[in-house]
Structure 1
Amino acid sequence: MRRHIRTRAFPAALGLAAAAALAAAGLGAAVAPALAADGAPLTVAITGENRVDLSLQGDNGDPSEPQVTLRLAAPGSDEPGDDGVIPVVHHGDYKIKIDASGLKGVAAVKLPCGGTGLTAVCTGDEINAGEDYNRLGGIRLDTTDESAAGDFGSIEVTGEGEGVSFTPLTIDVLVGGPEFLNHELAEPKGFEAGDTYEAPVGFRNAGGMAADGAVLRFHGSRGLDFPDSYGNCAYKKTTDGPLLRQGTDAICTFSGSYEAGEAYALAEPLKVATADFALLDIVNYGFSAVAPAKAKALLDDDGYTPGTGAPLTLKEAPGAAPADYTRYAELDLPTGNTYDLVLTGASAKGGVGDTVDAEIGFRNDGPGWLSALRSGGESIGFTVEVPKGATVTKAPDGCRFTTIDEGVKGYLCWVSTPLLEDAKLSFPFELRIDKVVPDAKGEVALPSWDNPREPNQSNNTAWIVLNGSDDGQGAGGSSDGGASASPSPSASGDTSGTSGSSGTSGDSGSGGQGSGSSGGGLALTGAGGVLLIGGVAVLVLGAGAAAVVVTRRRGTA
């Protein structure tokens, strides 16, 4: 959502005295256009996409969305100052002319600023610093019945105004140029964590023209690696920062001509090694048509290390079926690994008025990690009942007071994902004993679910035991009475965060989208209380009672 930012009523070049004089005169005189410090006109660039490729396959994006957004980029920052104001660096009438006559017979054009046909004029009298708040409008382009492969034209965008010099923009439009679709990926039958996947990487030129050169980009998330190193590729491995963004990226360049309608494949499969902890990790790749001169610059990108082996090469793939190719090629890998979530309880003894500690443990015994790459790092929830006769005086930051079931009060605690394969977290509670109840128990539990990725759910329940008959803690079974304690005024009401540390703090970034075929993983939405496990949604905590709703969710990790 765009912030509502005030802009200054006077150009930044005006001093306080000049602004006061104008205000005293009631702005009866026109405000002079801003000039650069040396008296030269202010230089403002017209910005937007400078290249649009239109597909003859009809895949040119949402018809209601423009491919080009025109803006004016002026000197200065578009970030507001402490007063919430973005300066106006130019006052004075100006015109921006859009001439798309070069696209006549090439493509259909929809122009901004009320333009009809192939021309439009945008007008204004103020330009803000920076670019963000100087939006002129969007240009939408589509093919027509007259469009043919190889049709080419340009849109010229120019500007004029007193005291301002506009840098023009040229937008080149190519119809039916090279258009690469990627060979689909599929997990081999019986594939397991620790195995190496030989990915059938390749592309088909579905466009109307040959391509001079090609570039391959591929990515593997944290549990995947690419054991081979190729001389025409460069690699970047990210091992720190948010887990959602860790993994390996690579760029490979290929020279040569790649003909329209033909398919090509790597001379050897791309090897993708999976770690023992890998589970629903993501591998994806994509080819694009990039000329060799531009492709070389990609290998010099900051943070990439050149490969050391022989070059990776492409070969023709005669007889390839067009149905085997898609725009986005990605795969969840492997899908058959498992994890084991474990809850541990606590026991304590004390008299009336005593405050005791109860530290709840949460860990993953693996072997798989909870990548949560498709759910974007949503959280896992578990509940903690308060034993009879006790009141929680201090709850962990990651827990909040709630109604667990009808007549049962307690806490809902959250664990952020991704969750490492050996994660160990603690949730320390403090309880005041208001009444000594022998063997008072409070259940600590994850919701029950039918989840093949956690086959052992016997350790998903634990207990807080106060004044037990022995020093051990109860195991399994139902508690001997629901908890009815109310929260202490000092108890935490925070609904987010994780107690302890596993290096797995949630990240809102998306780890990938597309046609992944996994059945799902484990994720709990932070706001609605819906636990998504293997495609089954469990409404963990409703208004007083738990309810179960079964749905299908494809591609949740």
Structure 2
Amino acid sequence: MTQQASRRLGPLGTLGLAAAALLVAAGAAGTAQADDAPLPVTITGEDRVGLSLESDNGDPSEPQVMLRLNAPGEEFEGDGVIPPVFTGDYTVRIDATALAGVASVQLPCAADGLVAVCTGSELYAGERYNRLGGIRLDIDEDSEAGDFGSITVTGEGEGLDFTPLTVDVLVGGPEFLNHELPLPGDYRAGDIYRAPVGLRNAGGMSAEGAVLRLHGSRGVSFPDSYGNCSYAEVTTGPLLHQGTDVLCTFPDTIDAGTAYALTEPLRVRTADFALHDIFTYAFTAVGPSEAAGLRAAKDYRPGTGADLRLRKVPDAEPAEYSRYADVDLPTTNTYDLELTGAAVDAEAGDTVTAEIGFRNNGPAWISALRSGGEPIGFTVGVPEGATVTALPEGCRSTTLEGGEEGYLCWVSTPLLEDAELTFPFELRVDRVVEGAKAEVALPEWGNPFESDHANDSAWIVLNGSDGSTDGGTGQTDGGTSGGTAPPGPGQDGDSGSSGTSGSSGSGGTSGSSGSGASGTSGDVTGGGLASTGAGGAALIGGAALLALGLGAGLFLFLRRGARHTGGTAA
């Protein structure tokens, strides 16, 4: 039987008699359609699998081909019974006999040797709920370089018209590994990195052509333009996905067991704001026609200079080549995160707004590319005699170091090099306490990329005598927010707040969002009663933040995450 999804996505009790009647009618309509004209059904799945003689071909428990049936109509969304578009018996036959002596095969459904038959009685719109199962392929003792075979998948059923699927399997074909990229020890933002880009064909067969895919994140650019390359700049949308993509085609024959390099190092430039930006590349064995299809998938512009070319590298060291090739550029830049406080005067019973400012003074942005955009957190205490009655977006209540009640606010990353955000806290003065204050603080995280820790804390002051709100000796202009940052940028989930920002520098954008500052973690409370202040809050340390369950996301010296895969440029 097919591995169909459960037909019930919620309790039947949620369906009224009218809804049930509509579902019955939908089933009848599907059958009626099958009686009038065959329902077109497409068998979907990977149509090409290459098996390596050099590597392990991935997790042996994971199939390389997942078979599904795609029926007309829009996929069902919501709760309740999934209405079928067809009811009636059908069979799907998977024939892998052509792979005898080529590779070992694991088939789904009722398999007899290299043939399996799957059966079903209902089809649903789309392909999500019409899963047949997976096909796992591996080399065996008979597998040799150049062995080739196909799997054919066909279907039949009264009232159905199946489009079959053919899965081509090649053993020991071209297998490209990429020359590893060394990290230059003295590289700084604004410099040009000369990348030793190259490949080695570790497969058992030559390739007729290759495609080189380059990707640079927002702070990376490629100053040269080559005639056999196409370029696409992404300057809108989430900051995580902004950058430059390049496709270069090579018609050369790439011989098996042979290494190649570009005839000249590839020049890679970084912007002045770059920090832990990523440059990555990958060669793939793709012919000219397939390369044209890749280029058409994105708005690429053709290069204008001479062609980029390959040369053979004799006596190449195989250990210097791997599946992925990427490097962080640079690793030595810094940024300056600054918090600004607020000083307000009020009588008992008054409600006032204390606007907390958060600013990145640069010069670097916080890319957070390896971690996927982990947020920065800072804590906010409550002055004695006051109660927080409304929170900005991105803040939630927490317990501060020392057991005092306060708030934790989040700033999402990536964070632009000139980002300015405002977090307005609404305070009700229950009783007047002269000079009541509470601290606003970033964690004492020992961050090597933070250039100035002196402005990592500030104060909320109620009815103070001199209006001082910074962590040192700074003054405010009597009763207003002391140096409070103006509204800052909002970029599709990246470091947003109310208002807009100034220029974001090369390759960046300015953005805006709704009111309040954005946050990516924690419950956001829009108002209601909150904690009552009872004195200043101590600067919260890194260990205390971990105790609050914030995890390593607050330590933004950008731990190296999972390897960034090559080939992200296409």
User: Equivalent residue of 1:217, what SS?
Assistant: strand
Maintained 8 Å contact 2:340/2:469? no
Structure 2 distance, partners of 1:448, 1:55, is: 49
Gaps of 5+ in 2: 10-17, 474-484, 496-518, 524-540, 563-570
Q: In structure 2, what is the equivalent of residue 291 of structure 1?
A: 287
Q: In structure 2, what is the equivalent of residue 237 of structure 1?
A: 233
Return the offset for 1:115: 1.2
1:101-500 equivalences under 5 Å are 101-473=97-469, 475-476=471-472, 500=487
Q: In structure 1, what is the equivalent of residue 92 of structure 2?
A: 96
Q: 1:4 to 1:282 in 2, by over 3 A?
A: farther
CA distances 1:161-190 after superposition (whole Å, capped 9, x unpaired): 212121211111000000000011122111
- Range 468-477 or range 106-115, more displaced: 468-477
Maintained 8 Å contact 1:45/1:73? yes
Q: 1:501 aligns with which of 488, 504, 524?
A: 488
Q: 1:499 to 1:70 in 2, by over 3 A?
A: farther
CA distances 1:31-82 after superposition (whole Å, capped 9, x unpaired): 89846589332221211111100001133111101000111112222244x7
Structure 1 distance, partners of 2:542, 2:180, is: 29
Give the AA of the match of 2:84. Answer: V
Return the offset for 1:232: 1.0
How many residue pairs get aligned? The number is 496
1:77 corresponds to 2:77 = no
Maintained 8 Å contact 1:201/1:270? yes
Q: 1:243 to 1:455 in 2, by over 3 A?
A: same
Q: 1:44 to 1:264 in 2, by over 3 A?
A: same
1:48 corresponds to 2:45 = yes
CA distances 1:430-473 after superposition (whole Å, capped 9, x unpaired): 22222222221101100102121113211101111122221333
Give the AA of the match of 1:211. Answer: A
Q: 1:319 to 1:554 in 2, by over 3 A?
A: farther
Structure 2 distance, partners of 1:505, 1:159, is: 44
Q: 1:180 to 1:468 in 2, by over 3 A?
A: same
Structure 1 distance, partners of 2:347, 2:5, is: 56
Structure 2 distance, partners of 1:139, 1:35, is: 34
Q: 1:474 to 1:281 in 2, by over 3 A?
A: closer
Of structures 1 and 2, the one with the larger relative CO (CA 8 A, separation 6+) is: 2
Return the offset for 1:546: 12
Q: In structure 1, what is the equivalent of residue 567 of structure 2?
A: none
Return the offset for 1:543: 6.2
Give the AA of the match of 1:90. Answer: F
Maintained 8 Å contact 1:218/1:249? yes
Structure 1 distance, partners of 2:106, 2:323, is: 26
Give the AA of the match of 1:278. Answer: A
Q: 1:545 to 1:313 in 2, by over 3 A?
A: closer
Structure having the larger proportion of residues in strand = 1
Maintained 8 Å contact 1:465/1:474? no
User: Equivalent residue of 1:299, what SS?
Assistant: helix
Q: In structure 2, what is the equivalent of residue 555 of structure 1?
A: 560
Q: In structure 2, what is the equivalent of residue 513 of structure 1?
A: none
User: Equivalent residue of 1:154, what SS?
Assistant: strand
Q: 1:426 to 1:548 in 2, by over 3 A?
A: closer
Structure 2 distance, partners of 1:454, 1:185, is: 27
Give the AA of the match of 1:132. Answer: R
Structure 2 distance, partners of 1:131, 1:50, is: 16
Q: 2:545 aligns with which of 537, 540, 549?
A: 540
Maintained 8 Å contact 2:375/2:553? no
Return the offset for 1:395: 2.1
CA distances 1:459-499 after superposition (whole Å, capped 9, x unpaired): 1011111222213335349xxxxxxxxxxxxxxxxxxxx99
Q: 1:526 aligns with which of 521, 530, 544?
A: 521
Give the AA of the match of 2:138. Answer: D
Q: 1:177 to 1:32 in 2, by over 3 A?
A: same
Maintained 8 Å contact 2:262/2:310? yes
CA distances 1:231-286 after superposition (whole Å, capped 9, x unpaired): 11111101111111110111111102111110011111111110000001111111
Structure 2 distance, partners of 1:112, 1:396, is: 53
Maintained 8 Å contact 1:54/1:177? yes
Identical amino acids, percent of aligned pairs:
62
Alignment TM-score, normalising by the size of structure 2: 0.80
Q: 1:168 to 1:474 in 2, by over 3 A?
A: closer
Q: 1:240 to 1:176 in 2, by over 3 A?
A: same
Q: 1:454 to 1:368 in 2, by over 3 A?
A: same
User: Equivalent residue of 1:279, what SS?
Assistant: coil
Maintained 8 Å contact 2:275/2:331? yes
Return the offset for 1:526: 3.0
Structure 2 distance, partners of 1:127, 1:427, is: 52
User: Equivalent residue of 2:286, what SS?
Assistant: coil
Q: 1:551 to 1:462 in 2, by over 3 A?
A: closer
Gaps of 5+ in 1: 8-15, 24-29, 478-497, 509-523, 529-535
Structure 2 distance, partners of 1:465, 1:547, is: 31
Structure 2 distance, partners of 1:144, 1:201, is: 34
Structure having the larger proportion of residues in helix = 2
Structure 2 distance, partners of 1:97, 1:547, is: 50
